[in-house]
Amino acid sequence: MGDSRRDPRAWWERGRALTAAKPLLLDVGIALLVQGAVTMPFVVPRAAGAPPATWGAYGLTTLTVLPLVWRRRAPVAVLFAVLATTGLYGLALDGPGQPLPYTGLVVVYTVAALSPARKRAVTGLVLLAAVPVGVWLNTRSARELTFSVFVFAAAYVFGRLTDARQRANRVEAERAAARERARIAREMHDILSHAVSLMIVQAEAGPVAVRAAPERAEAAFDAISATGRDAMAQLRHMLGVLRDGDDDTAGAPREPQPGLAALPGLLDRVRGSGLAVVYRTAGDAGPVADEVGVTVFRVVQEALTNVVKHADARTATVRLRHENDQLEVLVSDDGRGAHAVPRRGGHGLVGIRERAAAHGGSAAAGPGADGRGFEVRVRIPLSAAAEVGA
């Protein structure tokens, strides 16, 4: 990797960030750039008989440029100030002319990009009168009139295009924020729902076990503690990512999201609730992308959470099968079948479908193959998942 201090793109990005944070710097920079452009006719060699380049003419030209510093705050007022100083220059002085109306073009672009429709209409009416008057004060030629109309119309069009692009960027940013909120909501739901469900089951079984089998009560409390620590670790990871750079979390460990390797630990915690969990795999697809591993973990976690909360099951089976460049996840149980589906809420099954769809896959839930129990089946095409994660 190259040195970012010598990379022009890095300097460009820093400059964009700085001007976005402090737009006044950008306006001052544009004013200085325009000042440099209008200075050229005063410093280049002049033809014999041309109007003299006096300090008075140069000072009035500078007054024409100075309002550009406030172009973003009051673009229409700046437009009138520029027209007034430009008209005064044409009426009171016979100094060097300019090849382009730089200040007027900048202001028209600004009005088109930043002002509402009413102010843009006022600007259009003003220009319909000001452009012919300026041409009459200068050369009184149709050629100059045509050229002036063209360049001012081009400045206005560029301003409207800038406004449209900025609106599109804002819409896309809002959509991206909505997608991120939905992703965080799914993560929080999966983590908290799973952990709290297991802890409730263990806590309810604890008093009974204390009287009948103290050693089982101790195991239940250990399971509650382990489940709580695991949930806290995952929440700390999420908050650490969201608050990246915060002093309070700068030293927090940034552990990776759980994936396929974390499935055995998840199943052990669920077994601690008293549910027998069978884990089976078939086929070998080799390494699986981290994003797919996280999805598989969350799908299994949510499906088993529903089993613990609603199914009244004795056994659950988790099966992963790799076949034809596709990963299939099946979580089934021997519980109450369709009665296990929560009537209200249902965010877990919705989240499972959203996670599968994010990888180009599908999800289905319903009674088991023999009509008993309930099963959740997710299929993820590994090739499409790899393209999404690329």
253 found inside a domain? no
219 found inside a domain? no
123 found inside a domain? yes
236 found inside a domain? no
pLDDT for res 247: 45
Indicate the average pLDDT of the chain.
Answer: 78
pLDDT for res 17: 60
Average pLDDT over residues 191-220: 67
Structural domain harbouring 103: 4-140
Residue pLDDT, tens place only, 70-85: 888 888 888 888 888 8
Q: Tokens for 80, please give them.
A: 């009138």
222 found inside a domain? no
51 found inside a domain? yes
| 216/302: higher pLDDT | 302
pLDDT for res 205: 64
178 found inside a domain? no
pLDDT for res 2: 47
- The C-alpha atoms of residue 277 and residue 272 are separated, in whole angstroms, by 10
B/e letters for 151-177, b = 16+ CB within 10 Å, e = fewer, are: bbeebbeebeeeeeeeeeeeeeeeeee
B/e letters for 184-215, b = 16+ CB within 10 Å, e = fewer, are: eebbebbbebbbebbbebbeebbeebeeeeee
**Contact criterion met (CB below 8 Å) for 330 and 362:** no
- At residue 125, does pLDDT exceed 80? yes
321 found inside a domain? yes
Please say which residue of 140, 166, 183 terminates a domain: 140
Distance of CA 377 to the CA centre of its chain: 31
Average pLDDT over residues 175-200: 75
- At residue 173, does pLDDT exceed 90? no
Residue pLDDT, tens place only, 20-67: 557 888 888 888 998 998 888 888 877 776 677 788 888 888 888 999
**CATH code for the domain of 374:** 3.30.565.10
Q: How many domains does one find in the chain?
A: 2
Q: What share of the chain is helix, strand, coil (3-state, %, to 5)?
A: 70, 10, 25
- At residue 278, does pLDDT exceed 90? yes
Residue pLDDT, tens place only, 94-110: 667 777 888 889 999 99
Closest CA to 334 of 364, 306, 374, 303: 374
Give the predicted TM-score (pTM) of the model: 0.54
CA dihedral 39, 45, 50, 51 (to 10 degrees): 40
Confidence of residue 218 (pLDDT cuts 50, 70, 90): low
- The C-alpha atoms of residue 308 and residue 316 are separated, in whole angstroms, by 9
Residue pLDDT, tens place only, 334-352: 888 765 555 544 567 888 8
Closest CA to 127 of 151, 158, 100, 99: 151
Please say which residue of 87, 118, 140 terminates a domain: 140
CA dihedral 177, 178, 184, 187 (to 10 degrees): -140
- At residue 130, does pLDDT exceed 60? yes
Please say which residue of 109, 140, 171 terminates a domain: 140
DSSP run (H or E) holding 181:
helix 142-212
- The C-alpha atoms of residue 232 and residue 279 are separated, in whole angstroms, by 26
Q: Tokens for 209, please give them.
A: 């076990």
